[in-house]
Each structure stands twice: as C-alpha cells, then as structure tokens.
Amino acid sequence: MDQTDPKRSGRHLEILRRIARRAMIERGFLPDFSARVESELAGLKAAPAADSDSVRDLRDLPWCSIDNDESRDLDQLTVVREGAKDAVTILVAIADVDTVVRKGQAIDDHACHNTTSIYTPARIFSMIPEALSTGLTSLNDGEDRAAVVVEMTVGGDGALDGSDVYRALVRNRAKLAYNALAPWLEGQGPAPGAVTAVKGLEKNLRTQDCVAQMLRSRRQAHGALNLETVEANPVFDGDRVKSYTIERKNRAKELIEDFMIAANSVVARYLESRRVPSIRRVVHAPKRWDRIVGVASEKGWTLPGEPDAKALEGFLTAQKARDPGRFHNLSQTVIKLIGAGEYMADFPGREAPGHFGLAVKDYAHSTAPNRRFPDLVTQRLVKAAIEGRPVPYGDGELVDIARHCTLKEDDANKVERLVRKSAFALMLQARIGESFDAIVTGAAPKGTWVRINGQPVEGRLVEGFGGLDVGDRLRVNLIRTDVEQGFIDFRRVD
C-alpha cells in the first residue's frame, strides 16, 4: 500500500506527523531530544521553591492562568489588586524556567538551537522537554512555583503610574481557557466552574478585564493597530482530517494580550534602567506603505504619504465598523504589507527602533520562557539585574542570539504553515475543480498567493496572476493539491 496516498491509507495523522518531522529536519531543527538531554532531564528535580530571602511569597493571591483549551505549558498567571483613587495594580507572574534550565547545559543548548516550540496539527515539538514545559516549569493548577513577577500600577485613565520586577513564589488557583471564559466576560454565558470555586476570583477577573480594556483603548489612541487575525485548526475524526475550527479574538484573549504587551514593555524599560542589555522585539515601519495607502484609497480613505500608525489605526477602526464580516481579510492584507518582526540586541544608551504595530517604543519578549528562547534569555538578564549579578551574556552573544532567533522563527512559521496546508490539502482533495471567491495575500517575484473566502485556505495562483497585488479580489478555480509538499494550486477564472 502507498503510505503517501491518503485516499488509500486513510491515516492522515500518520502522514502529517511524517511530513512535520521531515519539514523540521529540512529547516535545520532538531525534532528529537538527544541522549545527553534525556540524561540531564533524568537527573533534574523540582526547582527549589525559594532560594533567596528576596523571593516574595505571593501564594495567597487568587492567581489564575488563561490560555488555549489544550495548553499545558503554562507560562503566565495574572491577578490584580485594587488601590486608592481608582488605581489598580496588575501582577503578571512568569514561570521561572531558568531555575531548572541552566545556561549552557544540554537542555539549554537544544532550546538555543531550535529557539521555539513548534505547534503543528499533528504534533507539538517542544523547545524544552515536556516533562519540564508542562511539568516542573509550568505554572500548573494547585502547584507552588517560582516566578518572575512584573507589577504595574494603572491609573483610572489607563496610564501606567509605576512598575516593578521581582522574584516570587506563586500558586495557580484556577486553570482557565479562553473560549470558556470569554462568553462570561462578554455577558453571554455563565462563569466557568473554576472561577466560582475560588473566593474573590469573579470580582478579580472583572477588574482584570476592565483594566485590560483601558490599556487597549489607550494604546489605540496612540496608534496601536486594531487588527483581527483568524486562525484555522484542522479537526480530526480518528486519524482523518474532517473539518476545521476557526479561532478568533475574544475578550479573554484580549485580556491576556493587553497584560502581556504591558509586561513586555515594563521589562524592556526595567533592563534599560538597570543599564542591562536586552533583546527587543522590533517591527519596523512598513516598507510597502505605498500599497497600504492604495488599499485604503480603494475604500475611499486617504492616508498620509509617510508611515503613520495613528492614521492607519483610524482607517482600520472605520473599516471594522463599516464591514465587520470582512475585516479579517483587510487585517490579513495589512499584516502582510507591514511585514514580519525581528529580534534585535539592544544596549544601554542606544535608541531602540520600537514596534510599529503596537505603537510602543520599548518592547521585549519575556512572558513565554517555556516556549520561546528569547524570553528565556530575557529572564536570565532580568534575574541578573534584580540580584545585581554580572550580565550572563556578552554583547556579541546577544547579537548572535537575536539574529538566530529571527531566522528560526521564520523557519518555524514555515514548518507550521506547511503542515497546516498539508492538512487542508487532504481535506480539499475532493473539491478539485470547484471555484471560489478569493483575495490576494501575497504578490512577489517568487509567486502570487490567494486565500479563498469561507475557507481558511491559502494557495498559490499558478495561472492568471499578472497585474495582481495584495488585497485584490478575484475568482479562482482549485486545480491541484499535493499533500506531501503542502501545495494548493489555483487558477484565475474571471
């Protein structure tokens, strides 16, 4: 039997796992942990709850985690404290992965090589062993854990009135999921049982949600872009891909996003204030701003000739109000035209480029050390700053790490995209010959790409692509799928 023929074998999950593993190797990733890593892992024990008198005990607070339904590698907990004159203090606890994963050891070497966990529909390739990322270093429900806490005081107008970063001992009181929590926050469903079971958590979460909305409104007033992303995940019936689910933003996701953006900005400024270098997350002003201006003009809107985040946000807000059903298509177009972000080493006294999409000048990735290597590096820098120790990385080392993490992030996205497209190629095989409305999502010398309406499927336009650009709409016909290569090919029919 031909194992690559899904119609004959029926084992879609097996096919996708093999494709994922092959893609990992082709992109230079290590899909498996070495014997050296496994030996080191076997010798690890639970991290000490507190190895310093400066570690605060915050286990009595009603901490909770909010993440995807299936997530087990929990990186953050959140809680708020209400103060005087409408001030609220946000506390974000970040898993202290460095307490277990030491710099320069085998597990750290593996993490430094891959730089990120890779999430495919068929298999998750964890940056560090799951015994750690979902066990010893995960902020699991009911477990005492070491953490780095980012504390932020927010005034009644949503402005940051003060901040601090320190080490603490925490305990997760409730493991919550976005899709179960959001309906309650939005007034469309009951509170999850895990919320009502913890004294004071309902009120605390309502306050968290209120503060998050204030932070978001203030950022958008300064030009943070209100973009809507849509994530499609294949759904398996046994071993076969049968359909897909669509994941959209909701109030629970926004709450965590807003708190993490604030925390990452505070961490960047904290390191700068201590004269400690950092790795910043940078998104430059769009090189294809002229095309963004063109897309806005097609919708009757005028943008300035030079990149202006605040003007772009005004356009996006107006379009979302005018046509909410198609706003995700416009968002995807703008995201493509802005371009990908990158990691850059930043040193005290230098001017950081900032993050165009978030309208923030100081921004470091620090809140997901179980799954992103830049966050683990940042955690080590923060702990050194807290404790007054020497910086654990040299300047050249940080420059190399930032460059390597940027390259591997791009590789990881390509692996994830390939396996997702292979899954949709399996699902679309029976629809070859059908026609669809579509939008151009990419146009470059190497090819033109379209996404069909009503389906989270992006493929290459192999016929009739002349004169098209990102954001153009057209009618296409599905002419071919190649599961192994993740190809979904269309031709223009209008």
- What DSSP line would sit under 292-311, residue for residue? HHHHHHHTT----SS--HHH
Rg of the chain over Cα atoms, rounded to whole angstroms, equals: 23
**CATH of segment(s) 432-494:** 2.40.50.140
List of long-range contacts for 305-312, beta carbons under 8 Å, 24+ apart? 307/356, 308/223, 309/223, 309/224, 309/225, 309/356, 309/357, 309/359, 310/222, 310/223, 310/359, 312/223, 312/225
CA distance 189 to 173: 21
- Spans of all domains in the chain: 6-269, 432-494
Q: In tens digits, what is the pLDDT along the chain, a chain of 494 residues? A: 333 454 444 689 999 999 999 999 999 999 999 999 999 999 887 655 555 668 999 999 999 999 988 889 999 999 999 887 788 999 999 999 999 999 999 999 999 999 999 999 889 999 999 999 999 999 999 999 999 999 999 998 888 889 999 999 999 999 999 999 999 999 999 999 999 999 999 999 999 999 999 999 998 888 888 887 777 788 888 888 888 887 788 999 999 999 999 999 999 999 999 999 999 999 888 888 999 999 999 999 999 999 988 999 999 999 989 988 778 888 888 988 888 899 999 999 887 788 888 878 889 999 999 999 999 999 999 999 999 999 999 999 999 999 999 999 999 999 999 999 999 999 888 889 999 999 898 888 888 989 887 677 789 999 888 889 888 989 999 999 999 999 999 999 97
Residue located via tokens 């494709």? 19
Query: Which of 107, 108, 100, 97 is closest to 47 using CA atoms?
Result: 100
